[in-house]
Amino acid sequence: MSSFADESIIADFVAESREHLSTIEPDLLRMEQEGAKVNSEVINRVFRAIHSIKGGAGFFAFEALKKLSHAMEGVLMQVRDGKLKVAAAVMDVVFASLDRLKAMLDDIEASDNVPYAKELASLEAILSGQGVVIGETVKGHEKGTQRDFDLDAEIVRSALRKGMHIFRAIAYLHRDIRDKGFTPLAFLNNALSVGTCLDAFIDIEAIADLEHCLEQDLPVTLLFATVLEPDLAALGLKLPVAQVKALELDALREEVKAKAKPKVEPSPAPEVVPVIVQPEPEPEEDVLAEVLPEEKASREVAKDSGNETLRVRVDLLTNLMNLAGELVLGRNQLVRAITDYHHEIPGLGAILQNVNQVTTEMQEGIMQTRMQPIGTVFSRFPRIIRDMSRQLEKQIEVHIEGAEVELDKSIVEMLVDPLTHIIRNCADHAIESPAERVKVKKDATGTIHLHAFHEGGQINITVHDDGRGINAKKVLAKAVAKGLVTKAQAAEMTEREIVHLVFAPGFSMAEQVSEISGRGVGMDVVRTNVEQLGGHVEVETELGMGTTVRLRLPLTLAIIPSMIVGVSDHRFAIPQVNVVEFVWVKASEVSQRIEQVQGALVLRLRDKLLPLVRLADVLGIQRVFLDPESGEPKVDRRETLADRRTEEDKALQEVAGRGQDRRTDWRSDHNIIVLRVGKNHYGVIVDELYDIEEIVVKPLSGFIQGTKCFSGATILGDGRVIMILDGGGLATAANLHFTDLQVEEKRRAEEEKLNAALKASRRRSVILFEAALGERFAVPQDHVLRLERILKSKIELIGDREYIEYRGEGLPLVRLDQHMQVRPLQAELGELFLVIPKIPGQNSTTRPSGGILISEILDALDVEVELKPVAFSGPGLLGSAVVQEHLTLFLDPVALLKAAGLMGDVA
């Protein structure tokens, strides 16, 4: 490394190079996907990035970095110039080399120790295979001061399109190469690091014969293209400025412009274009002006963006962030301390308001500087998936959505590992092989969808795959086999709990430990890292359809708005992102709203059961209550909030004159904060709700870092140090079983459904009638087709069955007393009624099967009755109930006809 190289300059170079590399990877993937159709600007971006790295590496004398980037540049140049196809094998080498560059940048001082010989050899093999010989089509010669060259026109056009200057440089073998301590190879390599060599030429006519040649200082003419200005190019080539001249390119530019629209493809038989050297170099503006408009525009954009960004060290930002935190604390304390003097000092209110606002804006601004798009993490996955797809012989596509969503830098960095594990799991375990996918009628190409979005003040990241899903049975069997759960525990686990076993330390579904996965640490890392960030992770899966891993994360870890709550004389902060709502339960409503389910307190909230924890109990704080009579705080010895007394108990208590019960006193009202933990909610009962404050999160001391319930500490405006509660940890410490409640909720829902169904079954629309006098019957209206009035005289007896002529046909009649123990119809009645049953499956035009003879139709009404069995039995007798204060027998008329043998032709 050069002795003058300042460490900070090297650090800048490394940071810049890393940025370059991060942009290269997606571009390389695009090159591979789009092949020859890829936009030339994509290749140019990659080329420029590698070129910049090489330049810096050369300047700081990082040899390995320089050599490797140089070779990469050579390959990319050939791709750019259309001499090399973007084959997968070529890209493999380029990607592998890229990884080496990354490794070198990771420890720049030891970059020369990173092994890269294999990659370099591969790159050089590509180069030599395609031929790095430049200007093979040259067939011109120098003529006096005006030298003519015949160049590969396409190469020149390509250089011009990229906004390069084209120079002619003369290097004398002795004074410019040997005397400066270079070997010809070193000189040429250096020249290639400055630009693209278009041609090299030695005037063979000028060479003396063998006898006198050694006394001669032969000139070598190089034609090369570079983005450098003439003076810098001379400096880069280590040649006197006078020996480096810009070429007259007007004719070529015109041609390039003319041909710019139809894309110029590399021609198998390159044409040649004459180029003339002019004594004076062209002004740079002219050169730029002649460059293609889009190239110029991109340069201008680059210039503009250069003015708008500034590289700042992260530690500086972190320090600023800490100071902003202290400022916020100071502001809070200041506001608290001088609030009482508002009226005494004129204008104080306005000053405070101003300080308050400026502090908030500054803190937000500083936080903004640390925000990074999640895309910086997401962007690495297409490459990982590309490599894994090849390794696993699978076809996998990655779709990214919401890459622009921003998170604090520290969170983004901590997400790298968890997301990488998830993605690798998706590719390795979830996505099936193409053959397997086709077999189950899926597209041969599997998809992994990464999506980041804001929701409820948090960042949600979902990773969805359309793979085989998680087989809960297999997970459970594996977990039992590994001793992660006992058989007894396994028997009680819900499917969701089973699936979440994938997060257990040491759990792995892989039969063998492979390069990719199988060690059983991946998903554990996911959960641990995400929880360390104050986030939450959960999995949803559908067998055969796919799996979604959902991460919920806070936007930032440093300054967060929080709810300050109190228990006894302690105060705690609850991050607002975890707070769903506040619920105030009056003491008098406790018995209706709070109950116990399997020994746990629950609040009935909008038809859902919300598990409750008492913060004091979880943290081991002595509970107190305000005595309704004395108003003094007293120790609360009640084990449960749920009021299990019966009304009689309460009445007895009142009679006994025990005074006002604190259970109904307003001072015993309950403040419940509903917290969100992943998809689950639970309520925390606190004594007091104070204010929402912006708190500065201070890390916990090592002594209490293992405490589940706290995620940090903070200092309040009044100088009090309080703990920040961790919603997830609190639920764990309280041993909350959300699934038990879900089961209970489900049971209750089913019970309610059943009750509703039962109620519905009791509700009937019936037709009330009498057969014999005083004997009442009811038939469901939907079982009746028609009711008809008939004259008894019209009834005819054929055999032992009665008939009546009905719509031109004989309708068989049924008397109830012939089938059940009821009285016969009164003989004196001249007019009777017929109940013609509706047979299921028959329409109104179908000939009726028969009619039931009755004496009187009483009513048609809706009744809600519970049928009771009757003492005697009979066909179609459903039961009895009291309707309109009369015992009524409920009949199924269809069953009755069937019993009478009148349904022979009905299925």
Interface positions with another protein (CB under 8 A)? 124, 128, 132-136, 138, 173-174, 177-178, 183-185, 188, 197, 199-202, 204, 207-214, 216, 218, 220
Confirm if 421 and 528 have CB atoms less than 8 A apart: no
Which residue in the block uniquely carries the two structure tokens 């070997």?
A: 183
Name which of 150 and 417 has its Cβ closer to another protein.
150
Confirm if 601 and 640 have CB atoms less than 8 A apart: yes
First CA to last CA distance, the chain: 99
Name which of 23 and 190 has its Cβ closer to another protein.
190
> Cβ-count burial of 897 within 10 angstroms (0-12 exposed, 13-18 middle, 19+ buried)?
buried
Confirm if 362 and 411 have CB atoms less than 8 A apart: no
Confirm if 169 and 243 have CB atoms less than 8 A apart: yes
Name which of 124 and 617 has its Cβ closer to another protein.
124
Q: How far is the CB of 159 from another protein (least distance, A)?
A: 18
Phi, psi (deg, nearest 5) at residue 551: -110, 130
Confirm if 697 and 712 have CB atoms less than 8 A apart: yes
Q: How far is the CB of 146 from another protein (least distance, A)?
A: 21
Name which of 200 and 677 has its Cβ closer to another protein.
200
Centre a 10 Å sphere on the Cβ of residue 587 and count the other Cβ atoms it contains.
19
Name which of 155 and 612 has its Cβ closer to another protein.
155
Name which of 128 and 391 has its Cβ closer to another protein.
128
∠ CA(890), CA(850), CA(894), 5° rounding?
A: 35
Name which of 177 and 422 has its Cβ closer to another protein.
177
Centre a 10 Å sphere on the Cβ of residue 332 and count the other Cβ atoms it contains.
22
Name which of 43 and 200 has its Cβ closer to another protein.
200
Q: How far is the CB of 455 from another protein (least distance, A)?
A: 59
Distance CA 684, CA 148 (A): 87
Name which of 124 and 397 has its Cβ closer to another protein.
124
Name which of 201 and 738 has its Cβ closer to another protein.
201
Q: How far is the CB of 196 from another protein (least distance, A)?
A: 12
The 3-class SS string of 539-605 reads EEEECCCEEEEEEEEECCCCEEEEEEEEECCEEEEEEHHHEEEEEEECHHHHHHHEEEECCEEEEEE
| 3-state secondary structure at position 160 | helix
Distance CA 885, CA 878 (A): 19
CB-facing half-sphere around the CA of 96: CA atoms within 13 A: 16
Distance CA 155, CA 402 (A): 40
646 Cβ partners below 8 Å, 6+ apart?
none
Distance CA 317, CA 331 (A): 20
Q: How far is the CB of 130 from another protein (least distance, A)?
A: 13
Name which of 224 and 572 has its Cβ closer to another protein.
224
DSSP letter string, 675-703: EEETTEEEEEEESEEEEEEEEE-BPPPGG
Distance CA 566, CA 572 (A): 6
Q: How far is the CB of 460 from another protein (least distance, A)?
A: 55
β-strand pairing of 809-815 with 851-854: parallel
Distance CA 387, CA 402 (A): 23
Distance CA 54, CA 189 (A): 12
Confirm if 382 and 398 have CB atoms less than 8 A apart: yes
Name which of 27 and 176 has its Cβ closer to another protein.
176
Distance CA 777, CA 795 (A): 22
Name which of 187 and 507 has its Cβ closer to another protein.
187
Residue of 592, 738, 730 whose CA lies nearest to 670:
592
Name which of 180 and 747 has its Cβ closer to another protein.
180
Name which of 208 and 760 has its Cβ closer to another protein.
208
Distance CA 451, CA 435 (A): 28
Q: How far is the CB of 287 from another protein (least distance, A)?
A: 26
Name which of 178 and 299 has its Cβ closer to another protein.
178
Confirm if 684 and 590 have CB atoms less than 8 A apart: no
Which residue in the block uniquely carries the two structure tokens 């094998």?
A: 89
Distance CA 103, CA 62 (A): 13
Q: How far is the CB of 200 from another protein (least distance, A)?
A: 5
Phi, psi (deg, nearest 5) at residue 786: -150, 160
Q: Report CA-CA distances (Å) from 249 to 166, 263, 395, 453, 892.
A: 8, 20, 48, 52, 104
Name which of 204 and 350 has its Cβ closer to another protein.
204
Confirm if 334 and 701 have CB atoms less than 8 A apart: no
Please name every residue paired with 373 in a beta bridge, in sequence order, or none if there are none.
406
Q: Report CA-CA distances (Å) from 626 to 629, 658, 783.
A: 9, 17, 66
Q: How far is the CB of 245 from another protein (least distance, A)?
A: 19
